[in-house]
Structure 1
Amino acid sequence: MDFPIGVPQHPSDVEHLSYFHGLPVLDFPQDPSARDLPADPSSVAWRMRGGMGSDDESPDAYWDRFTRTVPPEEVRALVFGVPWYGMDGWGAADELAEASSRLVNLEAVFLGDVEMEESELSWLEQSDLEPVLRAYPRLRELGVRGSKDLEFPVLRHEGLRTLRFETGGLPARVTRNVAASDLPSLECLELWLGDENYGCDTTLEDLRPLLTGERLPSLRHLGLQNSRFQDEIAAAVAHAPVAARLASLRLSMGTLGDEGAAALLDGQPLTHLRFLDLHHHYLSDAMVLRLREALEPAGVRVDLTEREEAEHYGGEEHRYVAAAE
């Protein structure tokens, strides 16, 4: 397996999770009379999607029914979607923090499992993640979709193995605080940086501390994706100390062109990688061939699908990230 359990292999689309933390995702029933639940509550990732209709129970009542029906101590993974996250969502951090004394074996949380038909990515309201991270020191995986009002504390967290932000615009304050945190067990980090028109003010300088790997001694899987400055990121990664110990690297979903790909090939060798994800790119046929010839004979699996064509108007070339609005 190229990525730790729970990390999708080709996550281009903003859609509902079918697997999370290596477990199939199961909706907790909205119907209070439903009795068809798995015998082993730890065998699934439970998705909260209640209270969406005018006649439904409130989200609070739905959550209370879940914690009464499913033994909290047997829950390993939780996924929160509508209505906790959406145009009018208010987040689930408080509910999670308050339930920490009962959810004693919770390993993984995904906040914002919402697809386009429910809310645009840029509209998703998040919150301060500090209460969740403090309440669950043994949390192994945290995924977050959306970045409006998102906050991440500077902290030391011994448990996290996977941290993933899916955003159309990642705020610099979040990027800087992740880079300043001590995450000694983190194996996989993925950042969807997005577009400045949707909240991304993260710069290459904000990313440089991550590229040293000094605070991330266990990191083996890195994704710096969905960026308008993907060429500059690729050039920086080509000479980054952390790259030498990665098993897989994602520079996908952004505006990567020949300049960035050439920088990758001209930098330190990448033949130790098992997987290089460059899907959704703006590469020429010649560069695609050059990448394949340089890496695939060494056993590197290279994803070069979803080639995009730049648009030209106003005398300028325009490229777009895969997920923004």
Structure 2
Amino acid sequence: MTIGDHLHELYGLPAFTFPGPDAKTELPEAGAVAWRITSDVYDADEEWEAAFARFCSAVDTTGVRALIVGAWQEAYDTDASSVIEALLAARDRLPALRSLFLGDIVMEECEISWINQTDVSGLLEGFPALEEFGVRGGSGLGFTAVSHKSLRKLEVETGGMPAEVVRGVAASELPALEHLDLWLGTPDYGGDSEAADLEPILSGTRLPSLRHLALRNSEMQDEVAAAVASAPVVARLEVLDLSMGVLSDEGAAALLAGQPLTHLKTLDLHHNYLSEPLKERIRDTLEPAGVVVDLDRDDADEDEDDDGTVYRYVAVGE
């Protein structure tokens, strides 16, 4: 699986791409859409910062509720520092901003693991009223532990998440957070965390409001599943998502052998490497209790060398 489509909505609002300098498009009301500001990765006629400056001049930014940062020039070689600086410089002009996604960049523009990021925690510090924050791209990504009282949803999408980012998120004080989604990825693209790094998240101490936990797209999905099996945070969850990784019978069996999961509304394990007997055990255990279980294999595939070595793949890597 690759990321081929831009975001269609954010904060419950339809995405609208702010037009180029020569377009005659009629603009919607400031608070009616999620505004996507974008440039071209290759041979940009207008840099992202210039497009954002035009946006701030053309739109009543005091009414803007959601912003989508699309591609910036040479994202494969240039990090998002100047984009973040421009956003922070305009924060007083964006008092209603509640949702921000940094890096809505699709495969044709730049593969996820080639997107250059930087430490993004300054955006949370600069926008204390944000309720949703998302970021895509793991190369150079940083996340320093923060304290944020308003954030309800945090998504970090990578093909390989640095351990420092996992630890930064885990050490953050996020009392209002209801939805956490981490794409842990693979060591091939910088994903060097271990299941132990997730312990502060799984304890739930700093996340008293958490209801939706996604720890997915991981090469260590079995270890994550085993850790989740006894995690205190699970008792308060409505949705548990361990999808998109290389989950095998070993991890799924550990999950079933742990605490009951019958209180969940949804258990998402799609893109997996489970045997049919194990899938049946999961269905027989959870579906009678009303849990919606997603066990679709999707495009999960494996290769085998001549020596019998089997290679399994996360859903989103490069």
Secondary structure of 1:122's counterpart equals helix
The equivalent of 2:168 in structure 1 is: 177
Structure 2 unaligned regions, length at least 5: none
Match of 2:62 among 49, 52, 73: 73
Query: Is residue 263 of structure 2 the alignment partner of residue 272 of structure 1?
Result: yes
- Distance 1:258-1:55 versus aligned 2 partners, 3 A rule: closer
Check conservation: 2:41, 2:73, Cα contact below 8 A.
no
Match of 2:317 among 297, 302, 324: 324
The equivalent of 2:308 in structure 1 is: 315
Q: Distance in 1 between matches of 2:39 and 2:304?
A: 45
Structure 1 unaligned regions, length at least 5: 1-10
Q: Distance in 2 between matches of 1:223 and 1:136?
A: 24
Match of 1:28 among 2, 5, 18: 18
Check conservation: 1:85, 1:114, Cα contact below 8 A.
no
Query: Is residue 213 of structure 2 the alignment partner of residue 222 of structure 1?
Result: yes
Q: Distance in 2 between matches of 1:286 and 1:123?
A: 39
The one-letter code matched in structure 1 to 2:309 is E
Q: Distance in 1 between matches of 2:7 and 2:106?
A: 9
- Distance 1:323-1:14 versus aligned 2 partners, 3 A rule: farther
Instruction: Please give the TM-score of this superposition, normalised by the length of structure 1.
Output: 0.92
Q: Distance in 2 between matches of 1:45 and 1:119?
A: 22
Secondary structure of 2:183's counterpart equals strand
- 1:265-319 CA-to-partner distances (Å, cap 9, x unmatched) read 1111101111111010001111111111111111111111135343221322211
Match of 2:47 among 26, 40, 58: 58
The equivalent of 1:47 in structure 2 is: 36
- 1:225-269 CA-to-partner distances (Å, cap 9, x unmatched) read 011111111111111000000000110000001111111111111
Q: Distance in 2 between matches of 1:85 and 1:99?
A: 23
- Distance 1:154-1:53 versus aligned 2 partners, 3 A rule: closer
Which residues of 2 match residues 1-325 of structure 1 at below 5 A?
13=3, 15-38=5-28, 40-50=29-39, 56-83=45-72, 86-91=75-80, 92-307=83-298, 308-313=300-305, 314-325=307-318
The one-letter code matched in structure 2 to 1:324 is G
How far has the Cα of 1:78 moved from its partner? 0.6
How far has the Cα of 1:120 moved from its partner? 1.2
Moved more, 140-149 or 53-62: 53-62
Identical residues among aligned pairs (%):
50
Q: Distance in 1 between matches of 2:163 and 2:63?
A: 37
How far has the Cα of 1:90 moved from its partner? 3.4
Question: Once superposed, what is the RMSD of the aligned Cα atoms?
Answer: 1.7
- 1:30-62 CA-to-partner distances (Å, cap 9, x unmatched) read 144424111x22111100113567583333321
Secondary structure of 2:92's counterpart equals coil
Secondary structure of 1:280's counterpart equals coil
The equivalent of 1:7 in structure 2 is: none
Instruction: Please give the TM-score of this superposition, normalised by the length of structure 2.
Output: 0.94
The one-letter code matched in structure 2 to 1:43 is A
The one-letter code matched in structure 2 to 1:310 is E
The equivalent of 1:6 in structure 2 is: none
Secondary structure of 2:91's counterpart equals coil
Secondary structure of 1:206's counterpart equals helix
Check conservation: 2:41, 2:109, Cα contact below 8 A.
no
